[in-house]
Structure 1
Amino acid sequence: MIFWQHILNKLKDNQKIYVLTVIENHGSSPGRKGFKMLVAQDGFIFGSIGGGVMEFSLVEEAQRLLTEEKSPTFIKKQIHKGNIKDGSGMICSGEQTVAFHCLDNKHISVVRDILNCLKNGEKRTLRLTPNSFDLSHKILENRFDYQITSTTNWFFEEHIGSKETLYIVGGGHVGVAVSELFIKLGFYVVVFDNRKNLNTLKNNTFANKKMVINYEKINNYITKGNTSYVAIMTNKYTDDKLVLSKLLKNDYKFLGVLGSKAKLKTMWEVLLKEGFTQEELNTIYAPIGISIKSETVEEIAVSIAAQIIQIKNYGK
């Protein structure tokens, strides 16, 4: 989000800027599809399209073009195989194509719309072509879609807004650390608690949404489906069990519970007596997070993030 906020600030300051976007990559290219960089008239640079000598040369080109009366939109292919035609000087044996779009104050509304999408968790599509830098209501099946027929006939589309939502049930210290990390990872983060006037919930400035609810009605607040991830970490065993019993039969990409193995063993025994099956319990990630002997709330957050990223990228 900070990338687009920097762009908005420069445009509101009546500066021209270049946005450099990697729209295609192959092999061991240092840049990946969607990597972006901002180059402003005043010399301000933010973001990255892969780093190194390749990035430096493209930034220099953008800075030069910003001094000219007309700053064109174009794409540039780079081959990272040493000193060859279109070569970047790098030896990582990959290729990438970078789109150059010059924006000015006429693009303020588009950038504001992008920021609103990111803030509110809306799903939109950023479409780049030789003649446009626009936001549409189209929903992509995947994060990116693109086609390059020639240097003058191409498009690149990117999902804007969080496709994945992390629901954190429990607004304590661990919830704050998890919120902070997952916002950086591009998730839309919602935090629930059943305690009013909870300091850690009030002071959680990272989450997109915070709600004080009755856990008996937790089902009403969490969307089922393959883009929903649920992390249960309330402040007591009875609330963990209550929330889990309400959600266990629902379909989520991830459902995990924070707690010791002894606590979870007791919870499993009770849930089995209440009619839940072992097969259903086997779908729960508990204790939540990968085993890295976490000792601080930040380390717990890292272990949870590593587990969820693995599931998101590789599937269950």
Structure 2
Amino acid sequence: MVLEFYTKLKEVLLQEERLILLVVIANEGSSPGRMGFKMLVTKSQMFGTIGGGIMEHKLVEYAQTLLDKPAFEPFVKKQIHDKSAFKDQSGMICSGQQTIAFYDCDLAFLPVIEKIVTQNNDFIFYTDKNIEINEVKNAACYFKESIGLVQKLYIVGGGHVGLALSEVLSKLDFEIHILDHRDNLNTMNANRFAHFRETVDFEQIENHIPDGDSVYVVIMSFGYRTDDIILRRLVNKNFKYIGMLGSKEKIATLFKNMIADSFDENQLSKVYAPIGVAIKSETAYEIAISVATQLISVKNRN
């Protein structure tokens, strides 16, 4: 999550020369935004999330107004998810609270980003003065973030099962990416559990999911046609795990057609399909638990 986020931040900063970086530096209770969640905001672009909902919408608009003003020093805003709170109400009612740090980033921030994305640094320190690498100098530290290997989960399909799986795995050590090709999908907009949400073209899905031994891919798109497009473009990539939701009959037909089109049968045999463990799951949450169990098993396998 860290390296990918800062790679994107570098790209956007080079384009727009100034942006606002929002970082969740603390959270308590049932807060939708957890420590380490990040979001970049410009007048025309957003990336990442600080928890979604009306709170995120409100703070994005606020961050955009800051871009019309002179440069500012870092500051924090507390958001309490309780409408009975005397102040700092977020507009959400899920209880808990979170604190977000605001950083004004211009081109002078590029050397720090470069260190994050190109060097094997251990930690990023978010302070009341700036963002520093590996040590804090003359500043109070808000939050210390490790730049280590993380398990990256790409859920291709932002429907109800994708939402449920995001919620289940948000309690575990996965960096969650949710991808769909449909604009303004309600279940995507409601997904406050994923670290990254993105609308993409499934015909180019391979460009949005990197190879890697810590990368897990779950295909659960809208139907057979899109599943077919996605699997054909991903099956030959190197992942720790790739699985697909669907009935045995659908998967058998899909595999048969791919083999007829010269796809490698041995490569297809590596796809977990039907996805999940056999617990006779029916509801979205039961399916999510089934899939999560399989992912944990693969992750912990020596």
What is the distance in 2 between the residues matched to 1:289 and 1:261? 12
Identify the match of residue 169 of structure 1 among 126, 148, 156: 156
Contact between 2:123 and 2:134, CA under 8 Å: does it hold in 1? no
What is the distance in 2 between the residues matched to 1:162 and 1:194? 28
Identify the match of residue 213 of structure 2 among 194, 218, 226: 226
Deviation at 1:269, TM superposition (A): 0.4
- TM-score of the superposition, structure 1-length normalised? 0.52
- Gap change, CA 1:176 and 1:275, over 3 Å in 2: same
Gaps of 5+ in 2: 1-22, 30-99, 103-116, 125-131, 136-144
Ranked by relative contact order (alpha carbons within 8 Å, sequence separation 6 or more), the top structure is 2
- Gap change, CA 1:313 and 1:203, over 3 Å in 2: same
Contact between 1:218 and 1:243, CA under 8 Å: does it hold in 2? yes
**SS state at 1:234 partner:** coil
2:27 corresponds to: 5
Contact between 2:157 and 2:219, CA under 8 Å: does it hold in 1? yes
- TM-score of the superposition, structure 2-length normalised? 0.54
Contact between 1:172 and 1:235, CA under 8 Å: does it hold in 2? yes
**SS state at 1:5 partner:** strand
In structure 2, give the amino acid aligned to 1:231: V
Gaps of 5+ in 1: 8-110, 114-121, 128-134, 139-157
2:288 corresponds to: 301
**SS state at 2:276 partner:** coil
What is the distance in 2 between the residues matched to 1:162 and 1:296? 33
What is the distance in 1 between the residues matched to 2:149 and 2:166? 14
Contact between 2:169 and 2:292, CA under 8 Å: does it hold in 1? yes
Show the 5 A alignment for 1:16-27: none
2:271 corresponds to: 284
Structure with higher Rg: it is 1
**SS state at 2:233 partner:** helix
**SS state at 1:184 partner:** coil
Identify the match of residue 196 of structure 1 among 183, 191, 210: 183
What is the distance in 2 between the residues matched to 1:293 and 1:224? 32
Contact between 2:211 and 2:239, CA under 8 Å: does it hold in 1? yes
Deviation at 1:161, TM superposition (A): 6.3
1:43 corresponds to: none
For the pair 1:262 / 2:287, whether they are aligned, the reply is no
- Gap change, CA 1:309 and 1:197, over 3 Å in 2: same
In structure 2, give the amino acid aligned to 1:314: R
Q: Number of residue pairs matched?
A: 181
1:206 corresponds to: 193
What is the distance in 2 between the residues matched to 1:124 and 1:288? 36
**SS state at 1:185 partner:** coil
Cα deviation 1:36-90 (Å, max 9, x = unaligned): xxxxxxxxxxxxxxxxxxxxxxxxxxxxxxxxxxxxxxxxxxxxxxxxxxxxxxx
Deviation at 1:4, TM superposition (A): 4.4
What is the distance in 1 between the residues matched to 2:283 and 2:252? 23
- Gap change, CA 1:162 and 1:295, over 3 Å in 2: farther
2:226 corresponds to: 239
Identify the match of residue 236 of structure 2 among 249, 252, 258: 249
Contact between 2:24 and 2:101, CA under 8 Å: does it hold in 1? no
